Amino acid sequence: MNPDQSEERAGRPVGRRIFLGTLGLGALGVLGAPVLQRGTEGFLGDIAGKDPTGLTGLLPNGGGFRYYSVAASVPHPSPTAYRLTVDGLVDRPHSYTLAELRALPQTRLVKDVQCVTGWRVPGTPFEGVRLSRLLDAAGVHPSARALRFTCFDGTYTESLTLAQARRPDVLAALRMQDHDLGHDHGGPVRLYVAPMYFYKSAKWLSGITVTDRVRPGYWEDLGYDVDAWVGRSNGRTDAPTG
C-alpha cells in the first residue's frame, strides 16, 4: 500500500496519540491539553509536512535523524534495571541484563538508514548482538516461524519472520554512531534491521517473543508493509540501504 494513503487513512484516530508522544511537549510547556491538539497539529503541519509516523523535527544533534515515539512518555530504566527478555517458543527463555548483552560478541555494521516517510541518513554505524545469536542461545522450537518485538514504551511493537531475524544484518543494537544508544534513539537497546525501512528498528526494545506466525506490528496494523525491504515495499523505490 502507498504509505501516504495509509497515513491519511490512519491519521485521524492515531494522530493525537502520536503527536502527544512525539513532540516532546514538555518543550512546549505552557500549552494546555485542548489547545495542544490544535496547536500541535498546526505546528506539525508547518514544520513536519507529511511526516505522520511520528512527529517532528530534526534532533538537535541527530545528524539527519528525526525523533519518533508513538508513546506519550517513555521510561528511563537505569542501566542495571534494564532487561531484554527472550521467550515464547524456546527451550531456554532468558532475561538479559545490559552487562550480559555487552559481554556477548558485538557486530558493527555501517549502512544507510531510510525512513518510509522519505528521509535518509547515509553511512550510519550500528553495533550490537546479532539476533541469530540470541535465538541460538534460546533454542528455538521447530514450530516457530516468527518473532514479536515489544518495547518498554508500552506501545510500540514489531515483527520479523524467523528467516529475516536470522540474517547477519539484524541486531539488538547497543551502539549507534559509535556511542552507546541514547534514550532518544531507543537506548539502551533497539532493534536494528539494516535492509528494511527504519520503522522495523523498534526502539526501547524489551521483549523478543518467538511465535508460530507473524503478528503485524504497530505501523503494520495501520497499513505499512510487514515485509519492509527498502525500495521493494510500501510503494517506494528508494535505493537499498547497502
**What is the x/- site pattern for ligand MTE, positions 101-120, by CB under 6 A?**
--------------x-----
The grid coordinates listed for 22 are 512525539
- Preceding omega of 188 cis (within 30 degrees of 0): yes
To ligand MTE, the closest distance from the beta carbon of 92 in angstroms equals 26
**Residues 6+ positions from 130 with CB-CB distance below 8 Å:** 105, 107, 168, 170, 171, 172
Name the minimum Å distance from CB 55 to ligand MTE. Answer: 9
Cell representation of residue 82:
534494564
User: Residues 3, 36, 51, 54: which binds ligand MTE (CB under 6 A)?
Assistant: 54
The reply to whether 219 sits near Mo ion by the rule CB under 5 A is no
Q: Measured between alpha carbons, how far is 56 from 18 in angstroms, rounded to an integer?
A: 10
- Mark the segment that binds ligand MTE (CB under 6 A) among 38-46, 165-173, 195-203, 209-217: 195-203
- Cβ atoms of 181 and 189 within 8 Å: the answer is yes
Sign of the four-CA dihedral 27, 32, 36, 39: negative
8 A C-beta contact, residue 41 and residue 19: yes
Q: Does position 115 bind Mo ion by CB under 5 A?
A: yes
For Mo ion, the nearest residue by Cβ is 115
Nearest distance from C-beta of residue 114 to ligand MTE, angstroms? 9
Residue closer to ligand MTE by CB (options 70, 138) is: 70
Q: Which residue in 36, 203, 220, 230 binds ligand MTE (CB under 6 A)?
A: 203
Residue 53 binds Mo ion (CB under 5 A): yes
Can you say whether the dihedral through the CA atoms of 39, 201, 129, 124 is positive or negative?
A: negative
- Which parts of this chain interact with ligand MTE (CB under 6 A)? 53-54, 65-70, 115, 151, 153, 156, 185-186, 198-199, 201-204
